[in-house]
Amino acid sequence: MGRRLLLTNFFLFTISLLSFLLPTLHALPLSTNSRWIVDNTGQRVKLACINWSSHLELMVAEGLTKQPVDVISKKIKDLKFNCVRLTYPIYLATNKTLASQTVRQSFLNAGLSNSIVADLQANNPSIIDLSLIDAFQAIVASLAKNNVMVILDNHVSKPAWCCGNDDGNGFFGDQYFNPKLWIKGLTKMAALFQDNPYVVGMSLRNELRGPRQNTKDWYMQGGAEAVHKANPSVLVILSGLSYDTDLSFLRTKPVSLSFTGKLVFEVHQYSFSAGLDWKTKNANQVCGNMTNNLMKNAGFLLDQGYPLFLGEWGVALSSISQTDTKYLNCLLAFAVERDLDWALWTLAGSYSSKDGIVGKNERFGLLTQNWTDVRNKIFLQKISVIQSPLQGPETSYRHSHKIVYHPSTGLCILKKPVMGIKLGNCSESDHWTYTPQYTLDIEGSYLCLKAKGLNRRAKLTIDCQRRGTTWAPISASKLHLATRLSKNTTACLDVDSDNHLVTTTCKCMRSDNTCDPGSQWFKIANANDFY
């Protein structure tokens, strides 16, 4: 026992020391400048995170029976995520009996087979006999070693899958959600990582919900003060009601804290957040409703000068349905326009144990079931544009322009030789301007975008006063770019099956719920040239 304790302490000291000797990509800690998250030099830091679950009954980060922890951390970095939203139950910080049992004991107590424990031993021999709280620290240290920032997310109190209206974990005062114990747990977790610069934020509670939820007993301010007192370096991230889809009550009940420069708000959005609308209603109408509701319920905080963190979103990557495709294209357009910080749900390709099933597949997982590969590489292409900052505080950029983003492909409109245009990497986008006359011009030239006719390729022209050169956003989604070809003919910018930019008849304008307008959806968004 004494030898194991000595080895444990030496291991934790080593990984802790390594995390602080590593060079950081940003000047940490992070803070806020109006609606932006910035580093210690004032430069924009965009959180492009992925969720990694550690809140289920085992209280161990998922995937450790499949891959070594450092392999997983490196893969996260290689896939261009700079941050992990690492979930945990509050009992990990407040229940010493639970937190002190080893990872091995947790697996065996849950009835998992010796062969699974052997897989854990083979992949992570340095973690298997650590206590659960020490193993959690080892995960954070591994991420730090790979220059991945961490947001500690209190997902639940009692370790379990989340979420249900009646699971006892939903709102302050529920069976397992004692506010005083919650603050005690937050304080301990904040203090535990106060010397680790890679722990850049703490999300105080995931998805408040249930029949008891109300604004009067929304105790987030008390949690925020406790966390800041224990660890003044971290961002304090507050969630709203109704599964973190509603912060609208803050319009009339603003948060008042004793500190500044650390407050971030969090919102979640899935296709099922709109019930069955994406399946049963017209996509343009649902997209318009979703973006309007996001702004009404949470996005207004951006205008009030606070960062907004899209803490959970995602689709079933094992097979993206037409319903989820429409939702995803709409959400990506919104995320590009507002340049949100975000965390994708989820990293896990499978769970060690969930719902009584060993090795249960996670359809939303970015990784495959055995955690060795990416489940959907096309999806990664689609989200690549939101993995880097597009905008930032005025002091951090030298020039502002527009990009024309096509969410269905994840690409932007670029100029090509002989007055042509094409779709390409958004990082290579030309600098577009969108004039009050609705023309799309390339800066520093006389060129603008022109429709040549119905079902013909769009081109660039220097004759920007004629028909076919004005592009107005239409439909409830405001994502169609329409131009008038003649007195009686209107067409929309489109992408054909060969990825050529063409103009075709505007589609999905009526109440047809089966129509997919994705090829005709474009977002004209602001972008900055950073110093």
Who wins on pLDDT, 23 or 473? 473
- Asked if 450 and 498 sit in the same domain, the reply is yes
Whichever domain contains 405, its CATH number is 2.80.10.50
Distance CA 396, CA 393 (A): 6
7 has pLDDT over 60: no
Q: List, for residues 377-424, the tens digit of each pLDDT value.
A: 999 999 999 999 999 998 778 899 999 999 999 999 999 988 999 999
Q: Which of 261, 263, 200 is nearest to 28 (CA)?
A: 200
Mean pLDDT in the chain? 94
Q: Which of 338, 358, 386 corresponds to the end of one domain?
A: 386
Distance CA 407, CA 430 (A): 17
Distance CA 366, CA 448 (A): 39
Q: Which of 386, 419, 435 corresponds to the end of one domain?
A: 386
- Asked if 234 and 146 sit in the same domain, the reply is yes
- Asked if 109 and 159 sit in the same domain, the reply is yes
Whichever domain contains 169, its CATH number is 3.20.20.80
- Position 329 scores a pLDDT of 98
- Position 15 scores a pLDDT of 42
Report the number of distinct structural domains present in the chain: 2
Instruction: Provide the pLDDT confidence category of residue 23 given band limits of 50, 70 and 90.
Output: very low
Instruction: Provide the pLDDT confidence category of residue 26 given band limits of 50, 70 and 90.
Output: confident
Q: Which of 386, 417, 440 corresponds to the end of one domain?
A: 386
In a domain, 460, yes or no: yes
Q: List, for residues 283-307, the tens digit of each pLDDT value.
A: 999 999 999 999 999 999 999 999 9
Full domain range(s) for residue 440: 397-530
355 has pLDDT over 90: yes
Structure tokens at 339: 């340049």
Instruction: Provide the pLDDT confidence category of residue 25 given band limits of 50, 70 and 90.
Output: low
In a domain, 18, yes or no: no
Cβ atoms within 10 Å of 402's Cβ, excluding its own: 20
How many angstroms separate the Cα of 329 from the Cα of each of 237, 271, 286, 332, 479? 26, 11, 12, 5, 10
